[in-house]
Amino acid sequence: MAVSQFSAASTRPGAFSQSHHCTSLSGLFDFGSRSSGSKLFSIRTLTSRPVRRYFSVKNVSSEPKQKLEDTITEQEAPTTHNSFTPDAASIASSIKYHAEFTPLFSPEHFELPKAFFATAQSVRDVLIINWNATYDYHEKLNVKQAYYLSMEFLQGRALLNAIGNLELTGAYAEALKKLGHELENVASQEADAALGNGGLGRLASCFLDSLATLNYPAWGYGLRYKYGLFKQRITKDGQEEVAEDWLEMGNPWEVVRNDISYTVKFYGKVESGSDGKKHWIGGEDIKAVAYDVPIPGYKTKNTINLRLWSTKAPSEDFDLHAFNTGEHTKAYEALANAEKICYVLYPGDESMEGKVLRLKQQYTLCSASLQDIIACFERRSGANIKWEEFPEKVAVQMNDTHPTLCIPELMRILIDLKGLSWKEAWNITCRAVAYTNHTVLPEALEKWSLELMQRLLPRHVEIIEMIDEELVHTIVSEYGTDDSELLEKKLKEMRILENVELPAAFVDLFVKPEESPVDLPSEELESPLESSVDLPSEELESSVDLPSEELESSEETVDPVDEEGESEEKASQKKTIVLPEPVPELPKMVRMANLCVVGGHAVNGVAEIHSEIVKEEVFNAFFKLWPEKFQNKTNGVTPRRWIRYCNPELSKIITNWTGSEDWVLNTEKLAELRKFADTDDLQTQWRAVKRSNKLKLVSFLKEKTGYSVSPDAMFDIQVKRIHEYKRQLLNILGIVYRYKKMKEMSARERKAKFVPRVCIFGGKAFATYIQAKRIVKFITDVGSTVNHDPEIGDLLKVVFVPDYNVSVAELLIPASELSQHISTAGMEASGTSNMKFAMNGCILIGTLDGANVEIREEVGEDNFFLFGAEAHEIAGLRKERAEGKFVPDPRFEEVKEFVRSGVFGPYDYEELMGSLEGTEGFGLADYFLVGKDFPSYLECQEKVDEAYRDQKKWTRMSILNTAGSPKFSSDRTIHEYAKHIWNIEPVELP
């Protein structure tokens, strides 16, 4: 096929560089139509010096070390080829080449780490061909493109996903076997990319997979964190955080673009030039350098880009003079300040330095990405740039509030650098930018100190103030001035700037007539200056602005003169008015979520119930003002990684019973399993696969934790970020109650009463989130006690898996039988792990929260274990608690006392148990309603035990969960974003 316009060696700005051994690759991996499955590709070569030597590296797997001269012939060495198919021999040749000529390891041996890097580099060669072609084709067509900005991309390992999407898994497995290694062992050498923490980042990565698979023109933008969040260790003291080392051996997937870097500015000041334009000058400049990662689609040539920014300072900022005079720290200060921006995901923000660093991270992501996006728009536009067409070519999606600064940054660039008017720039910004809300929690609806932002980003504050003024004008126009209380309420709720005086044009809106609110008897007002209030007259006069309830007359005081006969009349003049302590000034803040809603053309929640809460509660005033902005886009996960690759045995069964592999792209086909749910053959195969996956997990748990568990027990799993609202505490208290009841029974009674369970936890507590870390400690202490209790044996085990990540999830989820999604109703935006578990035939126990609501609808009420209060009840239940009307269940009191008895060790759990008590106050009053839902939770767990005893019924429920999961493919979600928010179309490469 003719591919000259897609030359991999393109020299145009931004084209992807090609690095393939001794050849110039100008062909494409052509998968043909998705029905044909053709894998042929051809490579045109330049004349090059043949590589004649044998590939003599050594294998150091479990077998004795051997040379590879016997397995790879000289004819297979990478010399020159006219054409070849990606068979095992050519792949082995490519791997050999990279092991020798792209070395990251010493040449003596071909150990597993070296085998992984050589294999990954070989795969990257394949990806680069389609990567370049995709870029060139989109560039040529000048199509509208979506740009997904996220602080997190939790990718997981890339090797198996890449070769699976390329349909080369079998060929790579065979090639590596020729070289003395198993593909599975080689793949296990890959470190998870530490670019995210939880569902936010994993969702972003699923979206990139779907965008590539569905042939949409799109890029992702993020930051290249050197250490990620942290690596979690579990010690006797609970969670310990250490730096993540994922980049220490290098990252074979990334390509650094040293020619693509942008200046990002902080601090400085804003001046008005003679031309009337604003100029942001001085301050601190750093460089954001692009690192690109290819994202291949499944059975398509489309390969999109994840561009990650790394920060540095120019070498001239290194103070050589200071270094040579011994002031080494000073010499490196500018470089260190730049580099540390991309050291850690979510640096602790308890200190001012931490807050500054977080804001620098967010602005770096926004500024570098927008400069890059605008450069692309200008390049594709050629000589005739029409800025009004920018939203017709660019869709910027802000994944949560972290990229909010995209709005003032795009305005700044358009106005200050491109010369557009405010009206033109605002029109373009609003049409180009959209916002996804992921939470109702206050800590995620970000607010930033106005003072800090003024110091760090002075020009952006000016722009935000102007946007806020426009918003105030809109609110006043909408609600009028007749009802001042309503108007004041709306302004307080909706303004971007919190606790900031109204703009000058509106200061007269709420001027109140001067009158004394102090209702004192007339005789006390006759001689105010004769009172004993020790204030100058002008301050006394101003005190009439104080509310009357804050002014108190003291009890009558009598001085010694009075006792000697001073008249009662004069004594009465000694009454004192006591003024209250001055109310401290509230901090001035910038509300990022409000800015997102005002500046974006679309606002979406991520599950039906969450989107309703966004409209009815979180942003209700905005919804009433702009109802057309608000949408729902229920999250999804990619079926490639989350069934096809992580659960290959189940995938084979699904393919056999549905008749084809079409379900991988069209998950609607999974619904066909429903008609076979009661078939004995399918049920037998289904149970066999589940047991096989459980056996793999048994080995993993033994390796990682030292605990031996029985594969015959039910595997009950809760894995997610540790947070009070996700209620890992409810889960572990339920386990403690179960353990207590077991201990009170005879061996025969407990065996009859309880189904054997392995209760598995995983997830990280944020380093400064003390209560979450207490929960981790509590879980591990319970596990230590229960797992070593000979009376209990295999009837109950509690295991905390350290350093939970995507790769661990890929083992846990296929082996799961019961999964817990038990957040306080109305607090989980969506959840995506619940979707992954359901896809893999796991049955959920949960509340009506987030996507649980839709999962239950899709899989059937009988195939979901439901408990707990509903979202509309939560506010009333908290009010009931505050009024002291809540009566805890005796079982809840019993379990707390059992914990306090010290049965789980000497650690003092009073703070943890105390948080579940009281009626009000921070850290008290059981805000997340663990006590309220505890009895319902216990009763639901009894139903779980009952259902699990009937394995035929349980297997049917499992099959129906997989059959009911088609809706939760990220392919469906991306189609909805593309159609309703981004207005982009698929572009299939020829």
Q: Which residues are catalytic?
A: 438, 720-721, 726, 832, 836
E strands, 795-931, where?
796-801, 818-821, 843-846, 865-866
Helix, strand and coil content of the chain, in percent to the nearest 5, comes to: 50, 15, 40
> Checking phi first, is residue 238 left (phi over 0); if not, alpha (psi -120 to 50) or beta?
left
Do residues 449 and 617 make contact, with C-beta atoms less than 8 angstroms apart?
no
How far apart CA 338 and CA 287 sit, in angstroms, is 8
Please, which residues have CB within 8 angstroms of residue 432's CB and are 6 or more apart in sequence? Answer: 390, 391, 394, 395, 396, 410, 601
Burial class (CB in 10 A: 0-12, 13-18, 19+), 746: exposed
Residue 401 near residue 593, CB atoms below 8 Å: yes
Cα separation values, 533 from 500, 515, 530, 540, Å: 32, 20, 8, 8
Whether residue 320 contacts residue 331, with contact meaning beta carbons closer than 8 Å, is answered with: yes
DSSP conformation letters of 617-645: IITHHHHHH-GGGEEE----B-HIIIIII
How many CB atoms within 10 Å of residue 423? 8
Q: How far apart are CA 864 and CA 871, in angstroms?
A: 18
For 415-457, where are the alpha helices, taking DSSP H only? 422-432, 450-456
CA distances from 744 to 782, 791, 792, 839, 903 (A): 17, 11, 11, 38, 14
Task: Provide the 10 A C-beta neighbour count for residue 258.
Answer: 8
Determine the Cα–Cα distance for residues 973 and 978; give it in Å rounded to an integer. 9
AA identity, residue 821: H
* Residue pointed to by tokens 């009894």: 942
How far apart, in whole angstroms, are the C-alpha atoms of residue 437 and residue 699?
39
Who contacts 698 (Cβ-Cβ below 8 Å, separation ≥6)?
708, 709, 710, 711
DSSP sequence for 113-153: HHHHHHHHHHHHHHHHHHHHHHHHHHHHHT--EEEEE-S--
Chain-centroid distance, C-alpha 453: 24
Q: How far apart are CA 605 and CA 586, in angstroms?
A: 30
CA–CA distances in Å: residue 525 to residues 122, 518, 556: 91, 10, 16
**Which tokens sit at 945?**
């035990």
DSSP 476-494: HHHH-SSSHHHHHHHHHHH
Burial of 321 per CB tally in 10 Å (0-12, 13-18, 19+): exposed
Sequence-distant (≥ 6) Cβ neighbours of residue 713 within 8 angstroms = 755, 756, 757, 758, 794, 795, 797
Structure tokens at 250: 């290098």
Instruction: Kindly tell me the sign of the dihedral angle through the C-alpha atoms of 421, 422, 423, 427.
Output: positive
Q: Say if CB 469 and CB 475 are below 8 A apart.
A: no
Residue 237 to residue 777: CA distance in whole angstroms: 7
> Tokens 């005739």 label which residue?
384
Token pair recorded at residue 740: 């207590």
> What is the spatial distance between Cα 233 and Cα 726, in angstroms, rounded to a whole number?
21
Instruction: Return the CA Rg of the chain.
Output: 32
